[in-house]
Structure 1
Amino acid sequence: MKKKVVVGLSGGVDSSVSAYLLQQQGYEVIGLFMKNWHDDSVTISDECPWLDDSNDAMMVADKLGIPFQTVDLSEQYKERIVDYMFNEYERGRTPNPDVLCNREIKFDVFMKIALSLGADYVATGHYCRKGTIEQNGETVYQLLAGKDQNKDQSYFLCQLTQEQLAKTLFPIGELQKPEVRKIATEQNLVTANKKDSQGLCFIGKVRLPDFLQQKLEPKKGEIIEIEAEKELYKAETPQFSNKEEELKFLAKKYKYKAEDGKLVGEHQGAHFFTKGQRKGLAVGGTPQPLFVIDTDVEDNVIYTGQGKTHPGIYRKALFITQDEVHWVRRDLAINPDETLEVKARIRYRQPLQSATLHQTENGMYVVFEQPQASITEGQFVAWYHEEELLGSGVIS
């Protein structure tokens, strides 16, 4: 009996080639397109990209001669991704919809549908790889970076579990992007030269600020500039009576008040802005460009600083509450008072940074060797050993 694989055909080149490769490897392949959006009250654009994508996916399935169907997951998507996003933005946090979409939709709702169709595996067009090792007679699955370092997408899968990895295949993880396009061209797949989609995971072409503005009310507020020479950046490091006090100090955010700086402009809502943002402030006349160093959604104030080296941008450590610490490799999880040297990143495509994990009773501190720019609440930090992603957490 051939093993059965359901491929999430998105209408892009990566998933198309994944389906072709699995077919070549002798699997019985089924193509499934996820429709994740049809709420017209939040218009996204006049074009309807998901229809184009769904047609492209269908044409690829037709060319490969595999069964194809569309599943409508828009209800679950709205509930688990969109509502969560609006909620996070209102709290002044910046969520990562792509990580969530993988955790909540592709590798949960979608995977359950695939397994109910009798599939042995689910496959996606992600640039990452799966490894297996045996430990005490049990199989442990590894999430490994994709061979194409420009395209490695392991970060987006940082919330996967052993159970999900056990049932997943990543057919293009060993390939470089140009090789994937070459295969698609050789097989005459309609997606061969299609541009990579930019936008919310599976909703298609959407600019996040436009999307948010349709649900979050604009409200005028002040843009305050904080000078780099401010006293609060020169505070002496206190004496600590224990390690956790020191960790708390390193991870602590600067607390700003409007009177700490000067008024330089107005904005339409603090919840539309995120740390490190430079575009969209519309404040001119400063010697160096202004960057967002903090947002206060309670008082609707945006705090900014001049230039990339402004001290308000940098922090040495971050904290993850215990309920948001996630280990892909549960066997490597550390206990309270234990530490682990790792490489970590706080955003997709960021080069890996040397860091130490410190587990406490209340959660985990990630302390970086070098101060990091724009550590942003609501985003994910992921930690690695060499090319293996070991775990992740939501920055608190």
Structure 2
Amino acid sequence: MTIDSQRVDGIDAGDGRTVVVGLSGGVDSSVAALLLKQRGWRVVGVFMKNWEDDDDEEYCSSRQDLIDVMSIADRIGIDVEVVNFAAEYKERVFAEFLREYAAGRTPNPDVLCNSEIKFRAFLEHALALGADKIATGHYAGVRPDPAGSGRVQLLKAEDGSKDQSYFLHRLNQAQLARTLFPLADLYKREVRRIAADAGLHVAVKKDSTGICFIGERPFKEFLMRYLPPQPGEIRALDDDRVVGQHDGLTYHTIGQRKGLHIGGRKDGKGAASGEHEAWFVAAKDIAKNILYVVQGHDHPALQKLAIEVEQLSWVAGEAPHPAWVYTAKTRYRQPDAPCSIERIDPADNARCTLAFAEAQWAVTPGQSAVLYESRVCLGGGVIV
């Protein structure tokens, strides 16, 4: 990596400027704060409290996370403020999350959480504190456009196994221009080593998973608290015969195999006829409350060569050139798949068709389709 007087390891020199870092109590945000302080930034930490409905020890770790944040801040030598965004989270993220599930789709709350809370409510609060920049422990990168357009670009992280640009694709120019991603060029193992060398006890802390800010919990039981069961038939898509019963379309997603309770061998293998192959969710009829399933992982109903995408959001503020070839992900951790933008709605630029070179498996309405040009994240939208 080229090193000059203004940049070391991809992090701008702070020169006393103020950066407000979102601290979660994990190793990633802790190391982000540490690196920024080492580069001469005046670092202020903010711990966001965004979920209050059942903040208990069983599923929500916010109490322990706050203890970890305070310990880290003391070790690094920075101030920390606790901010409650629970009302904003419930209104901007969780309400939409429930609406999408109620409509039979499978939303990705992390995408909305980033655009509405971590890089909107948090950014606004940080600017009010006098911040020059904000920073998080996300694995992604941001840089000025090499073409000299004056814009900034969102990049994939160096550590492809941890890259989170998929979840950040709705960020706009104003948000990204104020953002630093100190972990852009680091691998997770390096982040843990830096934390250990600095004596940060979170160096070995387990990564958090589950719903953004809500935590790890039995997901179906959690949804049932807000969206009551609506039992209906499970039918085979190929011959329309009834093969089982479901508790509610809300609790199922395209490509789902487990939890259907309608047989099929666990290994997905069976007779040549396919009689004993595993069942997969292939479609939902919302009006009739029917869940349609097919047998076999490679069933044609689970393969899509073209998909419709709406609620488009482009990092550059405008759509990429429709005639060029890009890559896209239709779900997180999916390998990049070559595609082209077949059509963009000329009326409002809010809907497009993506055509893929190879069929995509179990494309799920409500999830995000995100476009890339090499390492540059261009943006994306919600799969119809």
- Give the TM-score normalised by structure 2: 0.89
Q: Distance in 2 between matches of 1:209 and 1:96?
A: 15
- 1:90 touches 1:297 (CA, 8 Å); kept in 2? no
Provide the residue aligned with 1:364 in structure 2: 352
Equivalent residue for 2:211, pick from 194, 200, 217: 200
1:83–1:360 Cα change, 3 Å = closer
Deviations 1:340-369 (A, max 9, x none): 311111111100000000223253110001
Q: Distance in 2 between matches of 1:393 and 1:265?
A: 34
Provide the residue aligned with 1:266 in structure 2: 245
* C-alpha displacement of 1:206: 2.6
* C-alpha displacement of 1:199: 0.7
Letter in 1 for 2:36: L
- 2:378 counterpart of 1:390: yes
* C-alpha displacement of 1:204: 2.0
Letter in 2 for 1:348: Y
Provide the residue aligned with 1:176 in structure 2: 187
Q: Distance in 2 between matches of 1:48 and 1:308?
A: 35
The runs of 5 or more residues in structure 1 that have no matched partner are 228-259
The number of residue pairs the alignment matches comes to: 356
Provide the residue aligned with 1:119 in structure 2: 131
- 1:102 touches 1:156 (CA, 8 Å); kept in 2? yes
Q: Distance in 2 between matches of 1:52 and 1:140?
A: 39
1:377–1:14 Cα change, 3 Å = same
Deviations 1:197-222 (A, max 9, x none): 01111222233322211110112111
- 2:80 counterpart of 1:92: no
Letter in 2 for 1:364: C
Q: Distance in 2 between matches of 1:28 and 1:74?
A: 27
Provide the residue aligned with 2:158 in structure 1: 147
Provide the residue aligned with 2:255 in structure 1: 276
- Higher mean displacement: 174-183 or 210-219: 210-219
Matches within 5 A, 1:1-396: 2-40=16-54, 46-133=58-145, 139-227=150-238, 260-285=239-264, 287-321=276-310, 324-330=311-317, 333-334=320-321, 338-358=322-342, 359-361=344-346, 363-396=351-384
- 1:271 touches 1:295 (CA, 8 Å); kept in 2? no
* C-alpha displacement of 1:46: 3.3
Q: Distance in 2 between matches of 1:315 and 1:104?
A: 31
Letter in 1 for 2:365: E
* C-alpha displacement of 1:100: 0.7
* C-alpha displacement of 1:332: 5.4
Provide the residue aligned with 2:271 in structure 1: none
Deviations 1:284-333 (A, max 9, x none): 14611111001223222111111111111111111123xx1111023553
- Higher mean displacement: 353-362 or 14-23: 353-362
Q: Distance in 1 between matches of 2:176 and 2:137?
A: 14
Q: Distance in 2 between matches of 1:95 and 1:210?
A: 17
The runs of 5 or more residues in structure 2 that have no matched partner are 1-14, 265-274
1:202–1:47 Cα change, 3 Å = closer
1:47–1:140 Cα change, 3 Å = closer
Letter in 1 for 2:79: P
Q: Distance in 2 between matches of 1:157 and 1:301?
A: 34
Deviations 1:138-186 (A, max 9, x none): 5210111000011111101010101100000000110000000001111
Q: Distance in 1 between matches of 2:133 and 2:214?
A: 24
Deviations 1:267-296 (A, max 9, x none): 110111110111111111461111100122
What secondary structure does 1:339 align onto? coil
* C-alpha displacement of 1:62: 1.1
* Greater fraction helix: 1
CA RMSD of aligned residues (A): 1.6
Letter in 1 for 2:251: F
What secondary structure does 2:33 align onto? helix
* C-alpha displacement of 1:44: 7.2
* C-alpha displacement of 1:96: 0.4
- 2:34 touches 2:76 (CA, 8 Å); kept in 1? yes
* C-alpha displacement of 1:27: 0.2
Letter in 2 for 1:273: H
